[in-house]
Amino acid sequence: MAAPEQDEERETTVETVDEEELYGPSEELLENVSAALAEGDIPQVETLIEDLHPADVADLIEHLAPEERKLFVEITRHVIEAETISHLDETVRDEVVEQLGPQAVAEVVGELDTDDAVELLEDLEPEQQQEVLQSIPAEERILLQQGLTFPEDSAGRLMQRELVAVPSHWTVGETIDFLRAAKELPDDFYDLFVVDPTHKPLGSIPLSRAMRSPRLTRLTDIMETELRLVPFDMDQEAVAYLFKQYALVSAPVVDDAGRLIGVVTVDDVVRVIDEEAEEDLMRIVGASDTDFHAPAHLIAWQRVRWLVVTLINTMIAATVISQFQDTIQHLVALAVLMPIVAAMGGNAGVQVITVTVRALATRDITPQSNVLRIVGKELIVGFLNALVFAAILGVVASIWFGHVELGLVLAGAMIFNMVWAGFAGTLIPLLMDRLGLDPAIGAGPFLTTTTDVLGFFSFLGLATLFLT
Amino acid sequence: MAAPEQDEERETTVETVDEEELYGPSEELLENVSAALAEGDIPQVETLIEDLHPADVADLIEHLAPEERKLFVEITRHVIEAETISHLDETVRDEVVEQLGPQAVAEVVGELDTDDAVELLEDLEPEQQQEVLQSIPAEERILLQQGLTFPEDSAGRLMQRELVAVPSHWTVGETIDFLRAAKELPDDFYDLFVVDPTHKPLGSIPLSRAMRSPRLTRLTDIMETELRLVPFDMDQEAVAYLFKQYALVSAPVVDDAGRLIGVVTVDDVVRVIDEEAEEDLMRIVGASDTDFHAPAHLIAWQRVRWLVVTLINTMIAATVISQFQDTIQHLVALAVLMPIVAAMGGNAGVQVITVTVRALATRDITPQSNVLRIVGKELIVGFLNALVFAAILGVVASIWFGHVELGLVLAGAMIFNMVWAGFAGTLIPLLMDRLGLDPAIGAGPFLTTTTDVLGFFSFLGLATLFLT
């Protein structure tokens, strides 16, 4: 919609943002909504949320207690905006969609841009999805059904079908006249795409450039011709990389024949960047990347996987220790000191592996990087730190137990384990990446197994050799 | 610059992006550049990089070996683009800036938008910075010097001064005529800002909306009046949140008097989002967030801090174990099994703390969230998983050492430690956040101390009570 309709003095809400009140619904709003819900005061609830941005209403819904949430959705079901639903986190959105029923959800879907609509649809149960789709007009339904056939997390899922494509023989003036007359345009767009008669992109024109050019200018004279076309099946991580690398605000998506079928806009990419960074983080520590509102038993189940890995790891470590029971019996101080070697190696290793995984994700390391140089640097880092801590701990242990040889053994094991941490922390993710595996998955738990096992083995092994 | 000057048939490079060749310079390009550098073939080097995007040239420079890099910069110093310099990672950029000298850097700075120019300047040594600033024309120098006075990581640093502000009495037609005639405009812009005579923002107009409106439309009739003004000293994390929450592409920045002084665009925010996510990740594992190209001794030094924390932690854990030396002497199996309790608790805890820190960062948890509900859920998750693993490990230990009581003690300590992990993993970051501290800083190392100490204490303590 181009021009708002009201003619009277427009109500403006230009205000400077206060960082203190930026995040989430205010305490006051939450209390007022809760109170109004408790009293069943429907008009009051509607008044309270009337001026809120849909994203803020979504936050409000997420902050309500489950019972309140249900009531809130029931009360506001006829005024709730499509945008609000699309902003909800997955778990809460599922609940709300379930509660609204297919007919209402179909209306919501109809109001959204195709990218948001597909995102909402893809999370539904197959039957629910069918029910909703059947309530949508044929023309749009076909686009949505096609959207659902694109691979998950691909450019095709991310793109919206609404875009502005103009023929190459037009001038700036003709384009502006077209835009002024056209009814079916995206709410917001940032680039015009110049296409040939077969709908293949020839170039793009940032709106700012089009607006600055005289009416008679031919589009082909001002279009950006260094155009990077995104194949519909490109992974969203790659799309995000394109946007970051070339500071894009929108990018054209093409089908197998090279025809323009959609456009990815930067707001979707911002979401992807956030998601991918979170995914890396969660995978490194071995937590799941489900959303924050998932129920306890589901979260517990998703974390079990990496706890099982940890369990196996520690069993291996325990087996190693058990080989040295006689040595420990002979010198119990070993049992006191052995966790130090394992923990220092583990911690140093997790630092290294996190840096490496992140460098792979941000493409600071690429297949063309010099692996020897990268591993070499971490070996030096590991060795420098190992020397410092081995010296400190060697002295501490010598004094504590009045046993200089014990201090030396501890220092030796420390150096060995921390250098290993630097080596394995770089090499393991690099190898996994070369093998086409996600280097982030369980990197932490996996690495700490090796530092535990090697830490116990080197320390107890050296002790057996030199102290008994 | 609005219209490129060439009149002949324009060379176009519209091509579908190949995901395989997306990241970093190709093997072939790297080899060719290296070869050309080795032969001192200057024209060849220039030809090779001629068609590359500045961001890709920056990647190329980062991928070269240090000696090659020096040579490359020397050879290309007169053709290297300002954008290329601004895309380099900090460590490499420092090297390049040092090599180019103040005069050349001043030229580079002059070509950049103020935000990129300030970013380049802020990293320089004070003397270098002064030298460069003196070589810049007075008018721009003042803007840059002002930019440098804004707090680090604030909206003021992030914004560019170049923007399009128009008076409120104009029509769409007048605005378009102005844009066509104006010389000093930003390269790219996405919104027009409508200001009053004192330069205070009244509203914003997305370019797409302006283009679709008839010439005679008054700007005040189509402007967006729900405008969120960003104070110049707002933290960049808050700015990023605004962009994510409200899907913005640009946002107006105001001074203390509420006057429009700049605009933050989404490309800068994308960088911030990436940086902030990385910062969280690095802080949780206790690694530094320096860039990937920093030299080894610097990296080693920055990681020492958290290794010292780990050292203190493990010393505490060792002290706890040392209190139970008699018990261990009496039953060496305890030394074999005790790392299991510590590791399972530590791993579960790091999962919880990572999820909590991330939920705080993405504002899934806000000051208005129900803390009891959040902690309660993690306690349930911890307890569910604890039951499963306590059962498994209890049985394994009973059979392994033929000692049922030992298995029971292990199971008990496991349950205790994993529930603690769920409790502490949520409560520690929530508390830190309430106290105004960064919950991510050292969250991992700090938590694993508590799970180590409690793990050893509960296991060895229970063993002392029941097994001796």
- CA atoms of B411 and B389, how far apart (whole Å): 8
- CA atoms of B23 and B164, how far apart (whole Å): 35
Say which DSSP state A197 is in.
T
pLDDT tens-digit series, residues B355-370: 888 888 878 888 778 8
Q: Which domains does chain A have, with CATH numbers?
A: 22-150 (1.25.60.10), 165-265 (3.10.580.10), 296-467 (1.10.357.20)
Contact with chain B for residue A53, Cβ under 8 A: yes
Helix then strand count (H, E) for chain B reads 22, 7
Containing H/E element for A261?
A: strand A260-265
Q: CA of A101, closest CA in chain B: separation in Å?
A: 26
Q: CA of A289, closest CA in chain B: separation in Å?
A: 9
Instruction: Select the residue from A272, A366, A372 to test the B interface by mutation, using most B Cβ atoms within 10 A.
Output: A366
Give the model's pLDDT for residue B396.
94
User: Which chain A residues are within 8 Å of B377, Cβ to Cβ?
Assistant: 296, 299
Contact with chain A for residue B381, Cβ under 8 A: yes
Neighbours of A55 (CB within 10 A): 17
- CA atoms of A330 and B329, how far apart (whole Å): 8
Contact with chain B for residue A198, Cβ under 8 A: no
**What is the count of residue pairs from A and B with beta carbons less than 8 Å apart?**
455
Containing H/E element for B406?
A: helix B404-434
- CA atoms of B165 and A9, how far apart (whole Å): 22
Phi/psi for B391 (5° steps) reads -60, -50
Mean pLDDT of chain B: 88
Give me the half-sphere count of Cα atoms (radius 13 Å) on the Cβ side of residue A85. 33
Q: What is the mean pLDDT of each run of 10 residues along chain A (468 residues)?
A: 43 74 83 92 90 90 90 89 88 89 87 87 85 88 90 91 94 95 88 95 95 95 92 92 91 94 92 81 71 77 82 90 93 93 89 86 80 87 91 94 94 94 91 84 78 93 91
* Nearest residue, CB atoms, A228 vs list B17, B212, B384: B17
User: Which chain B residues are within 8 Å of A203, Cβ to Cβ?
Assistant: 12, 14
Among B250, B267, B443, CA closest to B359: B443
Phi/psi for B189 (5° steps) reads -150, 155
Say which DSSP state A435 is in.
T
Contact with chain B for residue A38, Cβ under 8 A: no
Contact with chain B for residue A282, Cβ under 8 A: yes
Does pLDDT of B6 surpass 80? no
Contact with chain A for residue B340, Cβ under 8 A: yes
Q: Which two tokens stand for residue B84?
A: 């290329």
Q: Where are the alpha helices (DSSP H) in B233-332?
A: 236-246, 266-285, 296-322, 325-330
Q: CA of B130, closest CA in chain A: separation in Å?
A: 30
Among A293, A405, A325, CA closest to A62: A293
Instruction: Select the residue from B269, B281, B326 to test the A interface by mutation, using most A Cβ atoms within 10 A.
Output: B281
* Nearest residue, CB atoms, B225 vs list A13, A16, A362: A13
E strand map for A75-190:
165-167
User: B135, B102 in Cβ contact below 8 A?
Assistant: yes
* Nearest residue, CB atoms, B208 vs list A16, A207, A322: A207
- pLDDT bin (cut points 50, 70, 90) of residue B288 is low
Residue B257, classified by CB atoms within 10 Å of its CB into exposed (0-12), middle (13-18) or buried (19+), is exposed
Contact with chain A for residue B282, Cβ under 8 A: yes
User: A178, A196 in Cβ contact below 8 A?
Assistant: no
Give the model's pLDDT for residue A6.
43
Q: CA of A73, closest CA in chain B: separation in Å?
A: 19
Among A324, A303, A239, A197, CA closest to B349: A303
Contact with chain A for residue B272, Cβ under 8 A: no
The sheet with strand B228-231 has its strands ordered as A15-16, B228-231, B250-254, B260-265
Contact with chain A for residue B343, Cβ under 8 A: yes
User: A46, A74 in Cβ contact below 8 A?
Assistant: no
Q: CA of B290, closest CA in chain A: separation in Å?
A: 10
Contact with chain A for residue B23, Cβ under 8 A: yes
pLDDT tens-digit series, residues B387-408: 999 999 999 999 999 999 999 9
The residues in B 240-259 lying below 8 A from A, measured between CB atoms, are: 241-249, 254, 258
User: Which chain A residues are within 8 Å of B242, Cβ to Cβ?
Assistant: 17, 22
User: B312, B297 in Cβ contact below 8 A?
Assistant: no
Does pLDDT of B67 surpass 70? yes
User: A338, A456 in Cβ contact below 8 A?
Assistant: yes
Q: CA of A137, closest CA in chain B: separation in Å?
A: 27
Q: Which two tokens stand for residue A79?
A: 């005024």
- CA atoms of B318 and B312, how far apart (whole Å): 10
Q: CA of A85, closest CA in chain B: separation in Å?
A: 14
User: Which chain A residues are within 8 Å of B230, Cβ to Cβ?
Assistant: 16-17
Strand, coil or helix: B228: strand
Does pLDDT of B291 surpass 70? no
- CA atoms of A370 and B226, how far apart (whole Å): 51
Among B292, B314, B382, CA closest to A363: B292
Among A57, A386, A230, CA closest to B16: A230
Contact with chain B for residue A404, Cβ under 8 A: no
- pLDDT bin (cut points 50, 70, 90) of residue B34 is very high
User: Which chain A residues are within 8 Å of B384, Cβ to Cβ?
Assistant: 296-297, 300
Check the CA dihedral A394-A399-A400-A406 and report its sign: positive
**Residue A11 — left, alpha, or beta (φ > 0 → left; ψ -120 to 50 → alpha)?**
beta
Q: Which two tokens stand for residue B38?
A: 């080795």
Instruction: Select the residue from A368, A370, A393 to test the B interface by mutation, using most B Cβ atoms within 10 A.
Output: A368
Interface ipTM: 0.82
User: Which chain B residues are within 8 Å of A334, Cβ to Cβ?
Assistant: 335
Q: CA of A143, closest CA in chain B: separation in Å?
A: 22
Contact with chain A for residue B55, Cβ under 8 A: yes
Residue of A nearest to B215 (CA): A180
End-to-end, the C-alpha distance of chain A in Å comes to 85
Mean pLDDT, rounded, for B181-191: 89
Give the model's pLDDT for residue B8.
43
DSSP A59-104: HHHHHS-HHHHHHHHHHHTTT--HHHHHHS-HHHHHHHHHHH-HHH
Contact with chain A for residue B453, Cβ under 8 A: no
- CA atoms of A85 and A94, how far apart (whole Å): 10
- The owner of tokens 């323009």 is A260
Record: contact A278-B347, CB cut-off 8 A? no
From residue A214, how far is each of A172, A311, B2, B73, B431 by CA, in Å?
Answer: 7, 70, 10, 40, 59
Record: contact B281-A354, CB cut-off 8 A? yes
Record: contact A336-B355, CB cut-off 8 A? no
- CA atoms of A217 and A213, how far apart (whole Å): 6
Mean pLDDT, rounded, for B83-94: 88
Percent of chain B residues topping a pLDDT of 90: 46
The sheet with strand A260-265 has its strands ordered as A260-265, A250-254, A228-231, B15-16
Least confident residue range of B277-291, B303-317, B452-466:
B277-291
User: Which chain A residues are within 8 Å of B280, Cβ to Cβ?
Assistant: 281
- CA atoms of B164 and B184, how far apart (whole Å): 10
Q: What angle do CA B206, B209, B212 make, to 5 degrees?
A: 150
Phi/psi for B89 (5° steps) reads -65, 155
User: A328, A335 in Cβ contact below 8 A?
Assistant: yes
Contact with chain A for residue B233, Cβ under 8 A: no
Mean pLDDT, rounded, for B231-254: 92
Q: CA of A24, closest CA in chain B: separation in Å?
A: 6
Does pLDDT of B9 surpass 60? no
Say which DSSP state B402 is in.
T
Give the model's pLDDT for residue A3.
42
Record: contact A363-B271, CB cut-off 8 A? no
Strand, coil or helix: B165: strand
Counted residue by residue, chain A has a size of 468
Give the model's pLDDT for residue A195.
95
Say which DSSP state B185 is in.
-
Residue B336, classified by CB atoms within 10 Å of its CB into exposed (0-12), middle (13-18) or buried (19+), is buried
Give the model's pLDDT for residue B4.
43
